[in-house]
Each structure stands twice: as C-alpha cells, then as structure tokens.
C-alpha cells in the first residue's frame, strides 16, 4: 500500500489537523510508503495532486469552518476532475471542527461520499471529530484520550487498510448536545470563559476592541 495523506487546513503545519495527522501516523508506523502533503501554496498543491495520482490509498484531512470546507480543499477537489483516473483508488476523509456535535459535519460527509464515487474511486468513509479547536493550548491531560484514539485509528488502518468503525463511532460523540449540557454551557458562557480562546486570538491580532463591529450593516 502506498498511502498519501493530504492536509487541507489553511493553517498549514500549525494546525489542529496536523496534530491529529501526526497522532494517526504515530499509530500507523507501517512499512508502507507514505507521502505527506499540504494544500497551502502553489507548490504544495502540485505535490498533493501528484501524491494523489501516484498513491493507491489517499486520506484527506481538513477542518470544517462554519459548516463549510476550506476554499483550498474545494479547489483541490475541482482539480481532481481533470485527472485521469484509470487506476481506482481507496479514498477516506478526516473532518475536524470546533463544534462539539458531529451533526454539523453530516452534510459534508454525504458530499464526500458522493464525490468519491463520481471520481470513480472506492470510498473508505469519513472520520468526524468535533470539539477540536483549542487542543493546541490544552495540557497533555486534556488531549491524552483524543490523541490516543487517533493513534489507535492509525494502527488499525495500517493493519486492515480501513478505519476502525468502533473508534469512528466514539469520535462522533456527541451527535447533538443534551439539554443538560446546553443548560450548563449557557450558564458557563455568562462568566466569559467560553470566549477565552477567541478573545485571546483577537487580542493577539489587535482586533479585540473591534469584536462587535458590523462593517456590512446598513
């Protein structure tokens, strides 16, 4: 098996997708040939396309941004339409997002399945994981379980050349937030703690004072 892993995060190597990809490869640790590429930058896109063409198994990992895939991922998918697909490939996807509920990625999952079939390839499934935003600043104790799951996912893939359905199901939890969890979240949000990560990034980019601006309002 020649495996290609294509990272479609606009954050490039400093992304949550990269963190999860690294854990997957840690578990994969196979003698199979592995090609890693990114979609940020013209040369990286060319390599990603070449890796796709030259591999028999392809995994594409990217974030869900407010219910949409990144533009660079859309552009890459469109570029595949012009590729000669004489050799059928096995294609799988890993979609992560800041939303805690996996329901947000359901429509995209259906799209990815349809896209793979239209390209004439074999669909391996879509791994969905929510609540990923912020893992870069979390202490090891808070990411241990998540990283362990992705490491096991990679180990299973190396042995069976497919995703572990049990782990996929675990990662999709919760599908929707329970009423009690929504109540607790609303309670915590009043303290401002739920905005900590976003406020930190706003301040880092000197945009905190403009956070309530409405430039397109009439």
DSSP bridge partners of 90: 57, 122
Question: Domains in the chain, ordered, with CATH?
Answer: 2-176 (3.40.50.360), 177-209 (no CATH)
The pLDDT of residue 183 is above 80: yes
State the pLDDT at residue 18: 97
Pairing of strands 33-38, 57-64: unpaired
- Percent of the chain topping pLDDT 90: 75
State the pLDDT at residue 181: 78
The pLDDT of residue 31 is above 80: no
Tens of pLDDT, residue by residue over 76-123, are 999 998 787 668 999 999 999 999 999 999 999 999 999 999 999 999
* DSSP structure class, residue 100: S
The answer to whether the CB of 36 falls within 8 A of the CB of 91 is no
CB neighbour burial string for 32-56, b if at least 16 within 10 angstroms, e if fewer: eebbbbbbbeeebbebbbebbeebb
The pLDDT of residue 176 is above 80: yes
The answer to whether the CB of 164 falls within 8 A of the CB of 125 is no
Tens of pLDDT, residue by residue over 129-139, are 999 988 988 89
* DSSP structure class, residue 54: H
Range name among 58-67, 83-92, 165-174 with the lowest pLDDT average: 83-92
Got the DSSP string for 191-205? TTGGGHHHHHHHHHT
Q: Three-state SS for 182?
A: helix
State the pLDDT at residue 56: 94
- Percent of the chain topping pLDDT 70: 99
Nearest to 99 by CA among 169, 40, 172: 172
For the stretch 68-71, contacts whose Cβ atoms lie closer than 8 Å and that sit 24 or more positions apart, written own/partner, are: 69/8, 69/108, 70/8, 70/9, 70/10, 70/39, 71/10
Range name among 23-27, 83-87, 155-159, 203-207 with the lowest pLDDT average: 83-87
Confidence bin at 45 (pLDDT 50/70/90): very high
Range name among 17-26, 30-39, 44-53 with the lowest pLDDT average: 30-39
Q: How far apart are CA 125 and CA 117, in angstroms?
A: 12
pTM: 0.87
State the pLDDT at residue 164: 98
Confidence bin at 174 (pLDDT 50/70/90): very high
State the pLDDT at residue 85: 67
The pLDDT of residue 165 is above 90: yes
* Mean pLDDT over each residue of the chain, to the nearest integer: 92
Q: What average pLDDT does this structure show over 147-153?
A: 97
């Amino acid at each position: 098996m020649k495996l290609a892993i294509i990272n479609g995060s606009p954050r490039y190597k400093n992304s949550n997708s990269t963190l999860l990809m690294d854990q997957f490869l840690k578990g994969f640790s196979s003698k199979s040939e592995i090609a890693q590429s990114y979609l940020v930058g013209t040369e990286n896109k060319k390599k990603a396309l070449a890796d796709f063409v030259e591999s028999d198994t392809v995994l594409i990992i990217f974030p869900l941004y407010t219910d949409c895939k990144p533009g660079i991922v859309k552009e890459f998918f469109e570029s595949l339409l012009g590729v000669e697909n004489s050799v059928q490939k096995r294609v799988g996807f890993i979609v992560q997002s800041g939303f805690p509920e996996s329901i947000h990625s359901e429509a995209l999952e259906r799209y990815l399945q349809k896209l793979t079939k239209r390209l004439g390839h074999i669909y391996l499934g879509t791994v969905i994981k929510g609540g990923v935003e912020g893992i870069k600043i979390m202490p090891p104790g808070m990411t241990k379980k998540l990283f362990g799951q992705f490491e096991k996912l990679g180990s299973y893939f190396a042995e069976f050349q497919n995703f572990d359905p049990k782990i996929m199901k675990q990662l999709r939890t919760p599908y929707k937030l329970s009423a009690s969890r929504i109540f607790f979240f609303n309670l915590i949000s009043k303290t401002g703690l739920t905005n900590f990560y976003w406020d930190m990034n706003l301040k880092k980019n000197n945009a905190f004072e403009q956070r309530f601006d409405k430039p397109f309002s009439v």
